[in-house]
C-alpha cells in the first residue's frame, strides 16, 4: 500500500466541549486541514468521541469519501481504541487511523489562542502526512493463562483472591509474612458499626486456607515477573519456616520448649514471643515458624565454630547436659576451654552495646562442671576399618582423635610423656586448670574407644615408616612446641639456677615440689611467664619478679592474669632488659638489667624498646626463669627426611588441609602455627580431621574445605546460616545489668596452695547471665523444639525455595505501613512510656493481644484520662502532606472503646473531623453523645512535666483550643497518636518488578482515577486496597472485588489480542549478527539457522523497538513506526 494511490484522508477536529474550542480556533484548523494534500474531507464536532461524532467518521468511510482517518482531539491513551473501533466497524483497517492530541498538547498548555491554534494546525498536518503512509496491520489473539496472582494477603488481597477463586479461576496468593490477615488481623473492632474485625476477617482467612482454587504461599516474596498481559511467568522465593506444614498440628509444645524470647512484632513490640512462633492462635496457616537470622557474632567468631548462643540458651533453661553435648559437637574438652579459652566470642558479643559482654567462657565452664561425666551417654558410632595414628595428645591431637573416632575410624594416640594432654597438662598450672578436669574429659574421649599409648616418643619408639607398616593409613602430627628459647646473654649457659619456663612448668606438673629459689626472676611478658611466676610463688619463693622489656600495655599475657599475679605479690618490672646473669662460683646471685624506653613502632605494631644508656642496675636473685618463647622440639627430624619443615622450626602444611609433604601425614597445632591458643589448635584439628577423612575416603583433600566446620554428627544442625549482619535488633527497652564474674580465692589463700583460683559461677548467677543474652541470631538452634515435637515436623536444615507460577493477571495488594512518629520528638513517642501509636493501641485492645484485650497502662492499671491526637504524620508537609482518611474514624472508635471498657475521660485533639462515609457522621455524633471531649487544635507538645504536684507521673497534653482561643494543658494517663498511613516497605521493589509506577508519595498509580481506578498502566496488572492510597476497610473490600472483577473479565475472554505495532526483521537485509537477540527484553527473537536470519516471535514481541535501534544493517523495524511514517510526520510539522 503506497501513498501514490492518492489516499483520501478525512480529518475530524474535536471541540472537546470547552476543553479545546475556546483556545484552539477549530474552524481555522478545519479550513487549514481542508487544504492539505490528500485530504478529502475535514470536519469538526463538539465531542468526536460521542456516538454522533463517531457516526460522522463511519458514514464518510461507508460512502467511500475517505480511506484514511485523522482525529485531532484528546490523548490517544483515552480514545484511540474508540476511534479505531469506529474505523473497523465501517470496514476500514483500524491502522489507517491516526490520532493527534490538540488538547493536552495545544489548548491546555498555553494561554495564547494564536499559539494554540497554530500548534494544532502543525499537529494535524503531521498526522495527515503520516497517515498517508500507514499500512494495514492485523493483530492475532493468543490464549490467556487462566490463573491470577495476588500479592499480599491482607483484607484486600484475601478478598480479591476469594472473589477470583469463586469465579472458578486458579488463584495464587503470595504473602510476605508467615501468616495472612495483614493489619486487619491486628484490629479488634471496626468503625462505624463496631463489628469485630475477627468476625469479619477470620471466616475469610479460613476459607482462603480451604478454598480448592486458592494456593497460598506464605513467608514468600515475588522476585520476578516476565511476559505480558494474559501470559505472565512469576518467580516466587519462599523463606524456610523450618516447620513442615503438612506435619505441624499447631500444638505449640515447641514454643513452650523454646528458650529464645524475642520482641513480638505482631503485638507491636508490646509483648514477647519465642523464636519458634505463630502470630496469633487463629493464624492461617497454623503452622509454626522459626525466626532465624544470620548466625550470632559469638558463634561466627569462635575459631572452632561452636554454637555459642545455643549452649548459652540451654544453660539458661537448666539443660546443662544438652548444653555440653552441643559444645562437644565442636569442642572435645568443654571444661578445659571453659577455663583457658581466650574467648574471642566475648569481644564480639553485642551485649557490649548495652553494657558488658556475657561471661561466655564462665558459662561454658559452668555447664561442663554441672553434669555427671561418668554417665554422659556416648554417641552412636558406625565403625570403619581404617587405622589412624595421632602423634601428640595436646588439644590439636585430641581434637583430630575425637573427630575421626566419631566418624568411626580406629584411632590410636601416641604420647611421649607418661600423661595425656600435652601443653594443657604440663604447660598450664593446676590453679588455672585442675588436673581432675582434664582427666575427666580425656577419660570421656577414651570411653569413645580412642586408644592412647603413653611414653611413646617419635624416633625413639616408633617411626612414620613403622606406623605405615603397622597399617596406619593416615597420621596426624601434633607434637606441639615444647622447647624453650634461650636468652643468649652472658652467664646463662654456665650458671645453675637458670631454668627455662616450659621445662620448669612441666617439672612441677609432673610432681616437682621444691621451689626454684628464694628470689626468682621470670623474664618475658606472655602467659607462660605469668604462670611460671605464679607457680614459683606457690612453691614458696619469697620474692618473684617479672621482667618485661616493653610497657605493661604491650604485655601479651591476659590482663586478668597479670592482675592476679600482682595480687599474689608478684612484682612487675616493665621496660627492663636483661643484660647478664651474675654468678659467684657458678651460683646464681643476680641479674644485671638495663632500663628501656619505648621507641618507634616495630613490624608487630608495638613500640620497640630502646635501651636507656647508663641505666644499668642489678636485681639480686638465685633463680632465673626465661619465658621468652617456645619452639618445636624434634630431635628425630633428621630420620624423617621426607617431612618438609617451614620457617621457625614449624612443619610445612597446605593451609586448607593441613596436609604435609607426605600425603598420608597431616599436622596441626603449635608444631605448625608456632605457640598459639588452645582454641586455635582445636580449629586446626577440625580442619585436618575433615581433610584426613576425605583422604581416607579417597576424595580430593583440599577442595572447598569448610573453614571452621567440624564433622557433622547425625541429627546435628548443619549451621548453614550466613554470617551477614541480619541480626535481631537490640530491643530499645533493654535494661543494663552487670556482667557475672566468677568469684576468686583471696590472694593469700591462693599462694599457699595450687587450688583453682576461679570458683566458677553459682547456678543462679549462671542462669541470670544466660538471660542477658540478646539472642542476636534469633533461633539458637538448640533443637529443644525438635526434642518435643511429637510429629517430627521440625527441620532446621530446610532450604529457601524458589518456584515459578504461570498466570494471566496480577493483583497488587501490598497494603500500607503505619507512620513511625519517633521523629516528631515533641510528642515523646519512644521516650514517654505511656505514649502509644494507634496500632499499638489496637493490640492493647485486642483479645489476643498482650493484655488480653484489657486497656491497661504499663503499670498494669487502667487509664483514667486518655488523649487521642489526630493527624500524626498526615497533613504535614514535613512528612506526609496528604490526609490518611482513616485516622479520624479509628480515633473516634478508640474513644468509644476506651469509654466503654474503662470509663476513662477521653480528649480528641483534631484539626478537622473527616467523617465522609455511610454512617460515619452518625458515628461522630454518637461518640460526641458518649461524652468524649473534642478539642479543635493540633497538639503542640506532650510533656511529663506536671503543672501541679498531684499530676506527678502523668502526661500533660498542650494544645491551643482554637475555638476558645486558649492554650489548654490537660493532664492524662495515656496518649494515643493517630498515625497516618504510608506505602508498605518493599512496595518500591514490587513496583520495579511489576513495572507499575508509583506516585510522589509512593502509592501505586491507577491507570485513570475515574475511568480505570483499579487498573494500572501495565496491562493485566490491577490494584486492590491501600497500596493505591489510604482507604478504610469498606472501600478496600469494594475495590478488591472490583480488581478481581477486572482480572476475571480479562481471563474470561480466554484470549488476548497481541499488539499489531511490533517489530519485523527484513530477511533480505538481515546479516545474521544476532545483535537484536541480545537486546530483546522479551526474548521474542529467535534465530533461523537454515536461512541464517533472525525472526520475530509476534506473540512475545511488545514492539519496544530496541531491536530496531540496535540493528546495524537496519533490517529490524517496528510496524506503525516506520522511518518513512515518522519522517513524513516530522517534516509536515516543520514545514
Partner 1 sequence: MKYGFYPGCSFKSAAGYQLSVAALTRAVGIEFVEIPDWNCCGATVFFSLDDIKAVALAGRVFALAAAGGFREIVTGCNACYATLRKSAELLAKKPDYLSALNRGLALEQLHLAEPLPVRHILQVLVDDLPHSAWASQTKRGFESVPVAGYYGCQLTRPFGDADDPEQPGILERFIKRLGFQPVAHSAKTLCCGASHGVPYGDECSPLIARIVRGAHEKGARLIATVCPLCQFNLDQGQQRASGLPKLPVLFFTQLAGLALGLPPEELGLDQLLISAQGVLRQR
Partner 2 sequence: MDDNQQQQLFFEIADAHKIRTCIQCGTCSGSCPLSNRMDHAPRELFALIRDGEMTAVLRSNSPWYCVSCYQCTTRCPRQIPVTDLMYALKRMAAQTGNTPQDHKMPHLYRAFENLVVHRGRITEPLVMAQYGLHHPGDALRQIPLALRLLKRGRLEWLPQRVRLPRQFDGFLNAVAGGRETT
Among 661, 723, 962, 1071, binds partner 2 (CB under 8 A): 962
- What binding mask, one character per residue, do residues 903-932 give for partner 2 by CB under 8 A, x or -? --------xx--------------------
Give the range of 55-63, 289-297, 532-540, 962-970 binding partner 2 by CB under 8 A.
Answer: 962-970
CA separation for the pair 460, 651 (Å, rounded): 19
Q: Could you say which of partner 1, partner 2, none residue 707 binds, taking C-beta under 5 to 8 angstroms by partner kind? A: none
* Residue 878 C-beta: closest distance to partner 1, Å: 10
- Out of 78, 940, 1079, 1126, the only residue in the binding site for partner 2 (CB under 8 A) is 940
Q: How far is the CB of 956 from partner 2 (least distance, A)?
A: 12
Binding partner of residue 966 among partner 1, partner 2, none, CB cut-off 5 to 8 Å per kind? partner 2
Stretch binding partner 2 (CB under 8 A), from 486-494, 528-536, 956-964, 1078-1086? 956-964
What is the C-alpha to C-alpha distance for residues 785 and 779, in angstroms, rounded to an integer?
10
**By CB under 8 A, which span of 262-270, 397-405, 458-466, 953-961 interacts with partner 2?**
953-961
What is d(CA 293, CA 348) in angstroms, rounded to the nearest whole number?
Answer: 17
Among 958, 1012, 1038, 1073, binds partner 2 (CB under 8 A): 958
Residue 960 makes contact with partner 2 by CB under 8 A: yes
The item of partner 1, partner 2, none sharing an interface with residue 999, based on CB under 5 to 8 Å by kind, is none
Supply the minimum distance, in Å, between the C-beta of residue 876 and partner 1: 15
Q: Is residue 938 within the footprint of partner 2 (CB under 8 A)?
A: yes
CB of 909 to partner 2, least distance (A): 10
- Binder to partner 2 among 518, 820, 876, 1032 (CB under 8 A)? 876
Binding partner of 831, given partner 2, partner 1, none, CB within 5-8 angstroms per partner class: partner 1
Bridge pairing between strands 261-263 and 272-274: antiparallel
- Of the two residues 944 and 1035, which places its CB atom closer to partner 1 in the complex? 944
**Residue 944 site contact among partner 2, partner 1, none (CB < 5 to 8 Å, cut-off depends on kind):** partner 1
The contacts of residue 377 (CB under 8 Å, 6+ apart) are: none
Task: Quickly list DSSP for 711-749.
Answer: PPPTT--------SS--PPPPTTPPP-PPP---B--HHH
Which residues contact residue 268 at a Cβ distance below 8 angstroms, ignoring those fewer than 6 apart?
A: 186, 837, 839, 840, 843
Size of the site for partner 2 (CB under 8 A): 22
d(CA 921, CA 924): 5
Q: Would you say 947 or 985 has its CB closer to partner 1?
A: 947
Least separation in angstroms between residue 969's CB and partner 1 is 11
Is residue 941 a contact residue for partner 2 (CB under 8 A)?
A: yes
Q: Which is nearer to partner 1, 512 or 969 (CB)?
A: 969
Taking the least distance from each CB to partner 2, the nearer of 315 and 869 is: 869
Nearer to partner 1, 373 or 879 (CB): 879
CB atoms within 10 A of CB 713: 15
CB of 805 closer than 8 Å to CB of 220: no
8 Å CB contact between 340 and 756 = no
* Binding residues for partner 2 restricted to 700-759, rule: CB under 8 A: none
Instruction: Identify which of residues 465 and 826 has a Cβ nearer to partner 1 in the complex.
Output: 826
Count CA atoms within 13 Å of residue 688 on its CB side.
Answer: 34
Among 338, 480, 937, 1029, binds partner 2 (CB under 8 A): 937
- Give helix 360-369 / helix 763-771 axis angle, nearest 10°: 140
Please classify residue 392 by burial: count the beta carbons closer than 10 Å to its beta carbon, then call 0-12 exposed, 13-18 middle and 19+ buried: buried
3-state secondary structure 759-809: CCCCHHHHHHHHHCCCCCCECCCCCHHHHHCCCCCECCCCCCEEEEEEECE
Q: CA 709, 714, 716, 720: dihedral to nearest 10 degrees? A: 50
Bridging pattern class, strands 1055-1057 and 865-872: unpaired
- Beta-bridged to residue 476, according to DSSP, are 390, 666
Among partner 2, partner 1, none, residue 938 binds (CB under 5-8 Å by kind): partner 2
Tell me: does residue 871 bind partner 2 (CB under 8 A). Answer: yes
Least distance from C-beta 944 to partner 1, angstroms?
5
Residues found near partner 1 in the complex (CB under 8 A):
825-826, 828, 831-832, 941, 943-946, 952
Nearer to partner 2, 871 or 955 (CB): 871
Which of residues 380, 878, 918, 1010 is near partner 2 by CB under 8 A? 878
Is residue 396 at the binding interface for partner 2, with CB under 8 A as the rule?
no
Q: How many CB atoms lie within 10 A of CB 340?
A: 23
685 and 395 in contact (C-beta within 8 Å)? yes
Nearer of residues 478 and 942 to partner 2, judged by Cβ: 942
Contact indicator for 949, 969 with CB cutoff of 8 Å: no
Residues 797-836 that bind partner 2 (CB under 8 A): 826
Residue whose CB is less far from partner 1, 639 or 825: 825
How far is 700 from 707, CA to CA, in rounded Å? 16
Q: Give whichever of 745 and 958 is closer to partner 2, judged by the CB atom.
A: 958
Q: Among partner 1, partner 2, none, what does residue 453 contact (CB within 5–8 Å per kind)?
A: none
Tell whether residue 77 is a contact of partner 2 (CB under 8 A).
Answer: no
Judged by DSSP in three states, 624 sits in strand
Q: Which one of 120-128, 615-623, 958-966, 1065-1073 is the stretch in contact with partner 2 (CB under 8 A)?
A: 958-966
CB atoms within 10 A of CB 767: 17
* The 966-972 sheet, strands edge to edge: 939-943, 955-961, 966-972
- In contact, 189 and 141? CB cutoff 8 Å: no
Residue 362 near residue 760, CB atoms below 8 Å: yes
CA distance linking residue 956 with residue 834, whole number of Å: 11
Handedness of CA 690, 696, 702, 704 (dihedral sign): negative
Q: Which does 962 bind (CB under 5 to 8 A by kind): partner 2, partner 1, none?
A: partner 2
Among 141, 224, 752, 967, binds partner 2 (CB under 8 A): 967
By a kind-dependent CB cut-off of 5 to 8 A, residue 961 interacts, out of partner 2, partner 1, none, with partner 2
Q: Which residues bind partner 2 (CB under 8 A)?
A: 826, 871, 875-878, 911-912, 936-941, 958-962, 965-967
Amino acid at each position: 500500500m503506497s501513498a501514490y494511490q492518492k489516499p483520501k484522508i478525512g480529518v475530524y477536529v474535536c471541540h472537546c466541549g470547552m476543553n479545546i474550542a475556546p483556545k484552539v480556533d477549530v474552524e481555522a484548523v478545519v479550513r487549514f486541514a481542508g487544504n492539505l494534500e490528500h485530504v478529502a474531507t475535514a470536519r469538526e464536532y463538539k465531542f468526536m468521541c460521542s456516538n454522533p461524532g463517531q457516526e460522522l467518521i463511519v458514514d464518510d468511510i461507508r460512502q467511500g469519501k475517505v480511506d484514511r482517518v485523522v482525529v485531532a482531539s484528546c490523548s490517544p491513551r483515552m480514545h484511540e481504541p474508540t476511534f479505531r473501533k469506529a474505523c473497523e466497524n465501517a470496514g476500514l483497517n483500524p491502522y489507517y487511523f491516526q490520532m493527534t492530541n490538540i488538547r493536552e498538547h495545544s489548548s491546555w498548555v498555553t494561554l495564547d489562542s494564536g499559539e494554540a491554534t497554530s500548534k494544532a494546525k502543525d499537529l494535524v498536518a503531521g498526522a495527515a502526512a503520516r497517515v498517508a503512509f500507514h499500512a494495514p496491520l492485523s493483530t492475532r489473539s493468543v490464549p490467556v493463562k487462566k490463573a491470577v496472582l495476588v500479592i499480599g494477603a491482607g483484607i484486600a488481597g484475601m478478598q480479591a483472591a476469594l472473589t477470583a477463586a469463586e469465579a472458578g479461576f486458579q488463584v495464587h496468593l503470595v504473602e510476605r509474612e508467615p501468616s495472612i490477615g495483614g493489619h486487619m488481623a491486628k484490629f479488634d473492632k471496626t468503625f462505624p458499626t463496631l463489628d469485630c474485625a475477627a468476625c469479619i476477617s477470620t471466616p475469610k482467612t479460613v476459607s482462603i486456607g480451604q478454598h480448592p482454587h486458592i494456593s497460598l504461599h506464605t513467608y514468600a516474596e515475588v522476585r520476578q515477573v516476565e511476559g505480558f498481559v494474559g501470559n505472565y511467568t512469576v518467580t516466587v522465593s519462599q523463606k524456610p519456616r523450618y516447620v513442615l506444614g503438612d506435619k505441624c498440628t499447631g500444638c505449640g509444645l515447641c514454643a513452650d520448649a523454646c528458650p529464645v524470647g524475642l520482641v513480638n512484632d505482631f503485638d507491636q513490640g508490646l509483648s514477647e514471643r519465642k523464636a519458634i512462633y505463630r502470630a496469633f492462635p487463629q493464624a492461617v496457616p497454623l503452622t509454626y515458624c522459626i525466626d532465624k537470622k544470620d548466625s550470632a557474632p559469638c558463634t561466627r567468631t569462635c575459631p572452632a565454630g561452636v554454637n555459642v548462643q545455643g549452649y548459652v540458651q540451654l544453660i539458661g533453661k537448666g539443660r546443662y547436659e544438652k548444653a555440653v553435648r552441643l559444645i562437644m559437637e565442636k569442642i572435645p574438652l568443654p571444661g578445659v576451654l571453659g577455663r583457658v579459652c581466650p574467648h574471642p566470642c566475648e569481644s564480639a558479643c553485642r551485649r557490649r552495646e548495652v553494657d558488658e559482654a556475657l561471661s561466655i567462657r564462665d558459662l561454658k565452664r559452668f555447664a561442663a562442671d554441672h553434669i555427671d561425666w561418668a554417665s554422659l551417654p556416648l554417641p552412636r558410632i558406625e565403625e570403619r576399618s581404617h587405622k589412624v595414628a595421632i602423634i601428640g595428645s595436646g588439644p590439636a591431637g585430641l581434637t583430630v582423635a575425637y573427630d575421626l573416632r566419631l566418624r568411626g575410624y580406629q584411632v590410636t594416640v601416641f604420647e611421649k610423656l607418661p600423661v595425656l594432654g600435652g601443653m594443657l597438662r604440663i604447660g598450664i598450672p593446676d590453679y588455672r586448670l585442675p588436673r581432675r578436669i582434664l582427666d575427666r574429659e580425656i577419660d570421656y574421649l577414651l570411653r569413645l574407644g580412642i586408644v592412647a599409648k603413653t611414653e611413646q616418643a617419635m624416633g625413639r619408639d616408633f617411626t612414620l615408616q613403622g606406623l605405615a607398616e603397622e597399617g596406619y593409613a593416615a597420621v596426624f602430627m601434633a607434637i606441639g612446641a615444647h622447647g624453650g628459647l634461650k636468652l643468649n646473654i652472658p652467664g646463662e649457659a654456665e650458671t645453675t639456677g637458670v631454668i627455662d619456663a616450659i621445662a620448669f612448668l612441666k617439672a612441677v606438673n609432673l610432681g616437682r615440689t621444691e621451689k626454684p629459689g628464694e628470689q626468682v626472676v621470670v623474664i618475658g611478658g606472655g602467659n607462660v611467664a605469668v604462670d611460671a611466676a605464679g607457680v614459683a610463688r606457690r612453691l614458696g619463693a619469697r620474692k618473684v619478679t617479672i621482667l618485661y622489656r616493653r610497657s605493661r600495655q604491650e604485655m601479651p599475657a591476659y590482663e586478668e592474669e597479670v592482675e592476679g599475679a600482682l595480687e599474689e605479690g608478684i612484682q612487675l618490672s616493665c621496660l627492663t632488659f636483661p643484660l647478664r646473669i651474675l654468678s659467684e662460683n657458678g651460683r646464681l646471685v643476680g641479674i644485671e638489667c638495663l632500663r628501656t624506653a619505648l621507641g618507634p613502632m616495630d613490624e608487630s605494631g608495638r613500640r620497640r624498646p630502646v635501651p636507656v644508656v647508663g641505666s644499668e642496675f642489678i636485681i639480686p636473685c638465685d633463680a632465673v626463669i626465661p619465658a621468652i618463647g617456645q619452639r618445636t622440639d624434634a630431635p628425630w627430624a633428621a630420620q624423617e627426611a621426607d617431612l618438609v619443615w617451614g620457617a621457625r622450626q614449624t612443619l610445612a602444611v597446605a593451609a586448607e588441609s593441613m596436609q604435609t609433604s607426605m600425603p598420608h601425614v597431616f599436622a596441626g597445632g603449635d608444631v605448625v602455627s608456632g605457640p598459639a591458643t588452645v582454641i586455635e589448635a582445636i580449629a586446626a584439628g577440625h580442619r585436618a580431621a575433615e581433610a584426613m577423612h576425605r583422604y581416607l575416603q579417597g576424595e580430593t583433600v583440599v577442595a572447598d574445605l569448610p573453614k571452621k566446620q567440624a564433622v557433622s554428627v547425625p541429627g546435628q544442625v548443619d549451621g548453614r546460616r550466613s554470617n551477614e549482619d541480619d541480626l535481631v535488633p537490640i530491643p530499645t527497652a533493654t535494661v543494663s545489668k552487670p556482667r557475672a564474674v566468677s568469684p576468686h580465692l583471696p590472694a593469700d589463700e591462693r599462694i599457699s596452695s595450687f587450688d583453682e583460683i576461679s570458683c566458677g559461677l553459682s547456678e543462679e548467677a549462671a542462669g541470670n547471665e544466660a538471660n542477658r543474652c540478646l539472642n542476636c541470631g534469633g533461633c539458637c538452634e538448640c533443637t529443644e523444639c525438635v526434642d518435643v515435637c511429637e510429629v517430627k515436623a521440625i527441620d532446621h536444615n530446610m532450604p529457601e525455595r524458589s518456584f515459578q507460577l504461570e498466570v494471566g493477571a496480577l493483583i497488587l495488594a501490598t497494603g500500607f505501613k503505619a507512620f513511625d512518629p519517633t521523629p516528631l520528638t515533641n510528642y515523646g513517642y519512644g521516650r514517654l512510656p505511656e505514649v502509644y501509636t494507634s496500632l499499638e493501641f489496637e493490640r492493647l485492645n485486642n483479645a489476643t493481644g498482650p493484655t488480653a484485650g484489657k486497656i491497661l497502662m504499663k503499670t498494669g492499671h487502667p487509664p483514667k484520662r486518655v488523649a487521642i491526637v489526630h493527624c500524626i504524620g498526615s497533613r504535614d508537609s514535613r512528612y506526609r502532606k496528604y490526609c490518611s482518611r482513616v485516622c479520624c474514624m479509628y480515633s473516634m472508635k478508640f474513644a468509644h472503646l476506651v469509654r466503654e471498657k474503662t470509663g476513662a475521660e477521653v480528649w480528641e485533639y483534631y484539626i478537622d473531623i473527616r467523617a465522609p462515609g455511610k454512617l460515619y457522621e452518625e458515628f461522630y455524633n454518637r461518640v460526641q453523645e458518649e461524652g468524649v471531649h473534642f478539642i479543635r487544635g493540633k497538639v503542640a507538645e506532650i510533656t511529663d512535666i506536671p503543672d501541679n504536684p498531684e499530676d506527678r507521673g502523668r502526661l500533660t497534653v498542650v494544645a491551643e483550643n482554637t475555638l476558645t482561643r486558649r492554650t489548654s494543658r490537660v493532664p492524662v494517663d495515656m496518649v494515643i497518636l493517630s498515625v497516618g498511613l504510608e506505602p508498605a516497605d518493599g512496595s518500591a521493589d514490587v513496583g520495579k518488578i511489576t513495572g507499575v509506577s508509583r506516585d510522589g508519595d509512593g502509592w501505586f498509580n491507577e491507570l485513570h482515577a475515574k475511568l480505570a481506578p483499579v487498573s494500572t498502566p501495565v496491562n493485566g496488572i490491577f490494584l486492590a486496597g491501600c497500596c493505591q492510597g489510604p482507604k478504610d476497610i469498606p472501600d478496600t473490600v469494594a475495590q478488591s472485588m472490583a480488581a478481581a472483577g477486572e482480572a476475571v473479565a480479562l481471563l474470561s475472554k480466554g484470549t488476548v489480542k497481541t499488539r499489531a505495532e511490533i517489530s519485523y526483521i527484513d530477511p533480505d537485509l538481515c546479516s545474521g549478527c544476532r545483535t537484536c537477540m541480545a537486546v530483546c527484553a522479551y526474548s521474542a527473537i529467535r534465530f533461523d539457522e537454515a536461512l541464517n536470519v533472525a525472526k520475530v516471535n509476534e506473540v512475545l514481541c511488545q514492539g519496544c523497538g530496541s531491536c530496531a535501534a540496535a540493528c546495524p544493517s537496519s533490517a529490524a523495524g517496528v510496524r506503525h513506526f516506520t522511518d518513512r511514517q515518522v519522517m513524513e510526520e516530522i517534516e509536515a510539522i516543520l514545514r
